[in-house]
Amino acid sequence: MPSVRTYIGIGSNLNNPANQVRQAFQALTELPASRLTACSPWYRTAPVGGPAGQPDYLNAVAALETELTADALLAMLQAIEIAQGRVRTERWGPRTLDLDLLLYGLVTCDDPQLTLPHPRLHQRAFVLYPLYDIAPELTIPRLGPLTILLKNCPPLSITRLDIENEPVTIMPSNPFSLKSFSNPPP
Ligand code: A4P
Ligand code: MG
The pTM (predicted TM-score) of the whole model is 0.89
Residue 61 exposure: Cα atoms within 13 Å on the Cβ side: 23
pLDDT in the model for residue 172: 34
Q: What is the pLDDT of residue 184?
A: 37
Please, what are the domains in the chain? 4-167 (3.30.70.560)
Contact 135, 145 (CB under 8 A): no
pLDDT of 9-51, one tens digit each?
999 998 888 889 999 999 999 999 999 999 998 888 889 988 8
Q: How far is CA 29 from CA 5, 39, 152, in A?
A: 14, 11, 33
What residues in the chain have per-residue pLDDT under 70?
162-186
Phi, psi (degrees; rounded to nearest 5) at 21: -70, -40
Which helix or strand (DSSP H or E) is residue 91 part of?
none
Check if 157 has its Cβ closer than 6 Å to any atom of ligand 1.
no
Closest residue to atom 11 of ligand 1, CA basis: 114
The residue whose CA is least distant from atom 40 of ligand 1 is: 11
Atom of ligand 1 nearest to the CA of 81: 21
Asked if residue 123 has its Cβ within 6 Å of ligand 1, the reply is no
- Dihedral sign computed on CA atoms, order 152, 154, 158, 164: negative
- Cα–Cα distance for residue pair 16/21, rounded to 1 Å: 9
Q: Ligand 1: which of 92, 95, 107 to mutate, judged by most atoms within 8 Å of the beta carbon? A: 92
Cβ < 5 A residues, ion ligand 2? 98, 100
| Nearest listed ligand to the Cα of residue 122 | 1
Supply the DSSP symbol for 51: S
From 35, 86, 124, 160, the catalytic residue: 86
Question: Using one digit for the tens of pLDDT, what is the confidence trace for 1-19?
Answer: 789 999 999 999 988 888 8
Q: Would you say 9 and 77 are in contact if contact means Cβ atoms under 8 Å apart? A: no
Q: How far apart are CA 48 and CA 28, in angstroms?
A: 25
Q: What is the pLDDT of residue 162?
A: 65
pLDDT score, position 163? 56
The DSSP line for 119-183 is: TTGGG-HHHHHHHHHH-TT-EETTTEEHHHHHHHSPP--EEE--GGGS------SS---PPPP-P
CA 55 to chain centre: 18
